[in-house]
Amino acid sequence: MIRAASGNDGPGLFECLASEDGVLQREVRDRLKNQVAVMKKKFPDFKPGLAILQVGNRDDSNLYISMKLKAAAEIGIDANHIKLPNTATEAEVLKCITALNENPAVHGFIVQLPLDSNKPINTEKITNAVAPEKDVDGLSSINAGKLSRGDLGDCFIPCTPKGCMELIRQTGVQIAGKRAVVIGRSKIVGAPMHDLLLWNHATVTTCHSKTSALAEEVSKADILVVAAGKAEMVKGEWIKPGAVVIDCGINHIPDSTKASGKRVVGDVAYSKAKERAGYITPVPGGVGPMTVAMLMQSTVESAQRFLEKFQPGKWSIQYNQLTLKTPVPSDIEISRSCMPKPIGQLAKEIGLISEEVELYGQTKAKVLLSALRRLKDKPDGKYVVVTGITPTPLGEGKSTTTMGLVQALGAHLHQNVFACVRQPSQGPTFGIKGGAAGGGYSQVIPMEEFNLHLTGDIHAITAANNLVAAAIDARMFHEWTQTDQALYTRLVPPINGIRQFSDIQIRRLQKLGIRKTEPTTLTEEEVHKFVRLDIDPTTITWQRVLDTNDRFLRTITIGQSPTEKGFSRTAQFDITVASEIMAVLALTDGLEDMRRRLGRMVVASSRTGEPVTTDDLGVTGALTVLMKDAIKPNLMQTLEGTPVFVHAGPFANIAHGNSSVLADKIALKLVGQEGFVVTEAGFGADIGMEKFFNIKCRYSGLQPHVVVLVATVRALKMHGGGPTVTAGVPLPKEYTEENLQLLANGCSNLSKQIQNAHIFGIPVVVAVNVFKTDTEAELDLVTQMAKEAGAFDAVKCTHWADGGKGALALARAVQRASQTPNHFKLLYNVELPVMDKIRIIAQQIYGADDIELSPEAEQKIILYTKQGFGNLPICMAKTHLSLSHDPERKGVPKGFVLPIRDIRASVGAGFLYPLVGTMSTMPGLPTRPCFYDIDLDPVTEEVNGLF
């Protein structure tokens, strides 16, 4: 690439360097290839990444980019060419730059100049937007500033000056002490070239087209670098004999001998200059290929710097240090003692880019589904579900165990790990149970945000659900009070004199078998079929909802206003989390899928027995709009700074009681192949875990690796025959004093729940949640009996008092279990008859002898099978306080028949739910509800008295 002039070391000595495949280029390329190979040997899935952003379609830019892409491919660099149209605005270019800055797979990033846009774009603003650590072109002000200060080891140097320096060194001429002249002052070549020569101890003069006595200045130069952009402006006779001449110019001049009518020349009159210079670069083929080589070198250097700081696939995450206190303070005191990281920082740490995150203040954010699309080709991490034995009414600490486990895996074992949990209802928050953020030193923070409105998802569900309820009664009222033609005129009114069916009305026509699309062509019979849903009021299954425990709304009468003309009926309110829309949110895998599920929700039957859906009511689009933000998972964090998705909160009785599929899927991509996603299933393993496998995993296609089964000495003693445990009442002495026999008897429930997990082919790790009243003998007995029952491992956990450190044994056991082969399988085939599916769950999971269906339940099976819903999975709605239907029967009940009093359908969510025993979906407030103690501090505006 640099050539010795005649009369020095002999003509042609450096000619082999004067092409793109010259010796120097090959040396650089081979060295970089070796460096990339070393990286790949250490990290097999790693590749240095180069992004080239081009605006417009200039031919010269396309040529340069193709050269860069070819060089990158030869070296082993993963190069990506991003091309924006010449209509791109400055904002669009900046948005693209932000995404590339945040992409961990991109280590080098250049903006191809000039920008070819017909919109005004500030080039300096664009180049300065490139992250300095990825600015392998060295054009940002930060890198330029470091170069001007002489911080050569802490910046990227523009590629052309860097290549020029490499060429000068190849001559063997010592730079130190030499007089150097640089012609040109651009930030791309001239200015950085001056700084490089200066910091290599040359005496440097910068000249330009306005410099007087330019020839005189050039004649003094031992080293001459020309980057003026003017054809052959430096004459050969100006050159000092023996000087090193680097010509960076690329100019076109007319030449009738060339087919194109022009040829390329440099800024130096080459034919004359080579007779005086000691060394000179030709044009073309001199500096250009070396510039490309230096770009590759800087990209490899950037990748090496990345590997010095980060391990591929491992998050660079800042964990919070806990200051543990004894005795353990209240949950709210602990929550407030820890300053959460800004949620935007956490999002960046776990690999989300800014355009995928919507901040809701400093402590919570929504994550857009575009993150899942971006990460779709990444392998999933390990999938862990936390469940429990049959609990006492006090709960056994599944949420606390979930948080303790993820803190142990993340903050202590430095694994990528995500917790995925449900959003709590306002019902228990202001009722008696309290929040669901975990507890002690293993909880989600800030707990006030977690347990109250969060980002408004439950409110959105309330609004959407009640819109459907209003639409049902309004439609019945209008059908009762209007003729077919009046209804048709109102449903398809003329707009600007034109009548037109909406998309949702076209779908209804198609469902009715009517293929017409012109409103005026329908016959009277077709109009009748179209406008009459003919809902049978006795079949309405859709209820209004409210996120408050209001027992007096369990049965109400609606339509008593005189304006409703006597059309009243009995109805009810459920709690919002019992809405089918909540179940839809939890099971959907995307916006379009949610739209379809919302549209096929069945709200009633017609008088002829046909299912009436929300799509028939015409509200599908409106529901989707109301739910467009709720579909995005909510990002929060644990006390120790590990990420948590809080999303969806389906009732664990009449729905499947698990957080959202979307949150799990995004988290599994973010943690990567070696990471962990820990999700919690509501209630005991006979309910939440069974539904997790048979409903959630069936629809998501995700396969779990480990079941964590939470047990407590307290609950096992209850199952062994201990007295009743009641919330708000002190525990009897059987629970506070050692009683090994009572405990051993109760371990039958633990054994049965381990067996239930094994039915699905998944290894079980038992987490014994330690309470201060437990003795070592009792804890040892539980772990021993768990292992004898087939648990992969059983460990004692003190995460409530000790945070993640108290769950280290659990975390290590989960890691080991996740490496073992599992043989995941579903419990039943959905094609089986409805009764057979119910019987399989009752017998294999609960231990029932058989099932007994009420006449109403039998009729529902006939109806749903006729309507085409018989092949849906089953979501059993029964008490969580016993394996049987009777909450008083503890341990492992035997010899019982499971009564099915009714069966209902959540067709949009995608399951049938048999009702076992009695229950209400609108809880009531106790005599002393939690809200008695809750208030807002008028000075600090902190929530006081919460939990």
Catalytic residues: 68
Closest CA to 302 of 109, 108, 110, 152: 108
Please give the Cα distance from 451 to 770 (Å, whole number).
25
* Spatial separation of the C-alpha atoms in residues 731 and 392, rounded to whole Å: 12
Q: Tell me how crowded residue 889 is: count the other CB atoms within 10 A of its CB.
A: 15
Sequence-separated (6 or more) residues with CB below 8 Å from residue 121? 55, 88, 89, 90, 93, 115
Burial pattern 519-553, b for ≥16 Cβ within 10 A else e, equals: beebeeebbbbbbebbbbeebbebbbbbbbbeeeb
Smallest Cα–Cα separation from 666: which of 590, 750, 553?
A: 590
List the beta bridge partners of residue 108.
Answer: 50
**Sign, CA torsion 139/141/146/147:** positive
d(CA 80, CA 699): 35
Under a CB-based contact definition with an 8 Å cutoff, are residues 145 and 158 in contact?
Answer: no
The whole-angstrom separation of Cα 612 and Cα 616 is 6
Peptide bond into 723 cis (omega under 30): no
State whether residue 798 is helix, strand or coil.
Answer: coil
Q: CB of 623 within 8 A of CB of 603?
A: no
Helix, strand, coil in percent for the chain, rounding step 5: 40, 15, 40
**Residue type for 540, please?**
I
Residues in the chain: 947
Spatial separation of the C-alpha atoms in residues 697 and 178, rounded to whole Å: 73
In this structure, the dihedral spanned by the alpha carbons of residues 678, 684, 688 and 690, taken in order and rounded to 10 degrees, is 110
Radius of gyration of the chain (CA): 36
CA-based nearest residue to 39, from 79, 74, 76, 70: 76
Residue 933 corresponds to which amino acid?
Answer: D
Three-class SS of residue 728? coil
Surface-to-core class of residue 355, CB atoms within 10 Å of its CB (0-12 exposed, 13-18 middle, 19+ buried): middle
Write the CA distances from 264 to 130, 219, 268, 304, 781, integer angstroms.
32, 25, 12, 37, 87
CB 814 within 8 A of CB 765: yes
> How far is it, in rounded angstroms, from Cα 79 to Cα 873?
47
Phi, psi of 934, deg, nearest 5: -95, 135
* Helix intervals (H) in 843-892: 855-866
CA distances from 532 to 468, 476, 488, 492, 546 (A): 17, 9, 10, 14, 30
Residues 149 and 172 sit within 8 Å (Cβ to Cβ): no
From the list 365, 523, 348, 388, the residue with the least C-alpha distance to 449 is 365
- 3-state DSSP assignment of residue 28: helix
Contacts of 788 (CB under 8 A, 6+ apart): none
| Closest to 655 (Cα-Cα) out of 386, 433, 873, 888 | 873
Rounded Cα gap, residues 698 and 678, in angstroms: 18
Place of tokens 């027992």: 551
**Amino acid letter at 660?**
S
